[in-house]
C-alpha cells in the first residue's frame, strides 16, 4: 500500500489496525515470557522423571508408521537413547506443523524429529549433535522431461509447509529468476505432509516435489516404477533434534548419549540401515 493510500484510510480503520498491532505485540510479549519460564532444566526433568519429545509419523525414512507401529531412523535411534539417558522419554506423535511451535512454547522439551538445521532456525532453537547430513533435491514422476534443475522453470513444485526444504525451494526459485531473466517456477504448492505431496505428484497435479535427497531416495526405493530423484536445489546441511533456544541442560543430556552412540558405531549402523549411507565426518555440534 502506498503512503498516499495509507493516509486516505479511515480513522476507524487506522484505529482497528493500531489495536490489532497492540494485541499482537502484547501476545508476543506474553509468549516471550512463557518461553523463558517453560524451558525445563535438567534438575526439573529429573524431578518430574521424564523428558517430553514430539515426533512426526509420516516422514519416511526418519519417522513413520508400519504395521501399526512407529518405526524409522529416528524412532530406532530413540530406542537406543531411552536405554542410556537415565530418565523416561515420553513421545507425542503429531503433524510436523505442530512440532517446532510446541517446543517454542515449552510444551515439549525437544523436537525429536528430522529437523533441518538452518541459520533462520538457529535464531529460535539450539540443536543436538547432528544425526545425519542432508541436502534438498527435487523428485519427479518417472519418465518426466525434467532432467535438470533449470528445467523446473515454469513448473509447479510442492514442498511441506514450514519445512526447511520449502525455504530452500523458495531460494532456488529466486536463483532461477536471476538466471533466466525473471522466469522462475510457475507455482509453489505447500502441503501439510509429504505423502499428500507425493500423491499429487503421482497424479500429475504438481511437476516435482522438493525434499531431502535421503527421503526422495527412500521414496524411489519403495516406488521405483512411479518416482525418480532429480538434482540438488539446496546446499548441504545437517539434520538434528531441536530444543528451545538456550535450553542447554536438555542438550547436554541428549548429546552425551548421541556422542556415545557414535563412538560405539550404533548410530552409523542405523544410518546405513535406514539412510543407505554413513556420516562419520559430522561435527559434534552445529550451534
Give the tens place of pLDDT for each residue, 141-193.
Answer: 999 999 999 999 999 999 999 898 999 999 999 999 999 999 999 999 999 99
pTM of the model: 0.69
Residues 126 and 180 in one domain: no
Q: How confident is the model at residue 277 (pLDDT cuts 50, 70, 90)?
A: confident
In this prediction, residue 41 carries a pLDDT of: 74
Q: How confident is the model at residue 4 (pLDDT cuts 50, 70, 90)?
A: very low
In this prediction, residue 14 carries a pLDDT of: 43
Residues 86 and 219 in one domain: no
Residues 105 and 170 in one domain: no
Query: Is residue 9 included in any domain, yes or no?
Result: no
Report d(CA 237, CA 199) in Å as an integer: 27
Report d(CA 285, CA 287) in Å as an integer: 6
Residues 140 and 225 in one domain: yes
Query: Is residue 87 included in any domain, yes or no?
Result: yes
Query: Is residue 23 included in any domain, yes or no?
Result: no
Residues 46 and 127 in one domain: yes
In this prediction, residue 39 carries a pLDDT of: 62
Residues 183 and 97 in one domain: no
**Above pLDDT 90, what percent of the chain?**
71
Residues 247 and 126 in one domain: yes
Query: Is residue 285 included in any domain, yes or no?
Result: no
Query: Is residue 287 included in any domain, yes or no?
Result: no
DSSP 3-state helix, strand, coil percentages of the chain (rounded to 5)?
45, 25, 30
Which position has the grid cell 507425542? 92
Q: Give 195-220 pLDDT, tens digit per residue.
A: 999 999 999 999 999 999 999 998 99
Task: Tell me: pLDDT of 34 over 60.
Answer: no
Query: Is residue 22 included in any domain, yes or no?
Result: no
Residues 181 and 254 in one domain: no
Query: Is residue 123 included in any domain, yes or no?
Result: yes
Residues 108 and 150 in one domain: no
Q: Which residues contact 167 (CB under 8 A, 6 or more apart)?
A: 118, 120
CATH number at 254 reads: 3.40.190.10
Number of domain units in the chain = 2
Phi and psi based region of residue 67 (left: phi greater than 0; alpha: psi -120 to 50; beta: remaining): left
Overall average pLDDT of the 89-116 stretch: 93
Domain limits at 126? 38-133+239-275
Residues 228 and 243 in one domain: no
Q: What is the rounded average pLDDT for all residues in the chain? A: 87
Residues 256 and 114 in one domain: yes
Which position has the grid cell 519460564? 37
Residues 262 and 147 in one domain: no
Amino acid at each position: 500500500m502506498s503512503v498516499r493510500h495509507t493516509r486516505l484510510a479511515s480513522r476507524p480503520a487506522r484505529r482497528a489496525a493500531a489495536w490489532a498491532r497492540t494485541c499482537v505485540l502484547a501476545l508476543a510479549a506474553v509468549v516471550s515470557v512463557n518461553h523463558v519460564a517453560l524451558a525445563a532444566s535438567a534438575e526439573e526433568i529429573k524431578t518430574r522423571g521424564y523428558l517430553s519429545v514430539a515426533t512426526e509419523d509420516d516422514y519416511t525414512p526418519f519417522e513413520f508408521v508400519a504395521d501399526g507401529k512407529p518405526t524409522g531412523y529416528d524412532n530406532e535411534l530413540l530406542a537406543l537413547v531411552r536405554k542410556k539417558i537415565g530418565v523416561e522419554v515420553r513421545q507425542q506423535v503429531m503433524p510436523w506443523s505442530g512440532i517446532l511451535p510446541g517446543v517454542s512454547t515449552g510444551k515439549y522439551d525437544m523436537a525429536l524429529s528430522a529437523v533441518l538445521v538452518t541459520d533462520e532456525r538457529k535464531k529460535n532453537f539450539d540443536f543436538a549433535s547432528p544425526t545425519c547430513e542432508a541436502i534438498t533435491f527435487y523428485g519427479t514422476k518417472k519418465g518426466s522431461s525434467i532432467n535438470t534443475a533449470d528445467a523446473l522453470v515454469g513448473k509447479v513444485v510442492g514442498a511441506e509447509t514450514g519445512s526447511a526444504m520449502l525455504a530452500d525451494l523458495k531460494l532456488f526459485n529466486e536463483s532461477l529468476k536471476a538466471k533466466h531473466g525473471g522466469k522462475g517456477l510457475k507455482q509453489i504448492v505447500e502441503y501439510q505432509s509429504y505423502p499428500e505431496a507425493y500423491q499429487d505428484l503421482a497424479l500429475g497435479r504438481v511437476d516435482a516435489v522438493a525434499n531431502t535427497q535421503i527421503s526422495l531416495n527412500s521414496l524411489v526405493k519403495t516406488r521405483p516404477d512411479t518416482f525418480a530423484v532429480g538434482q540438488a536445489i539446496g546446499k548441504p546441511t545437517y539434520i538434528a533434534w531441536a530444543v528451545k533456544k538456550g535450553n542447554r541442560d536438555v542438550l547436554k543430556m541428549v548429546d552425551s548419549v548421541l556422542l556415545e552412540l557414535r563412538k560405539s558405531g550404533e548410530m552409523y549402523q542405523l544410518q546405513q540401515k535406514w539412510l543407505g549411507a554413513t556420516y562419520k565426518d559430522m561435527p559434534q555440534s552445529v550451534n
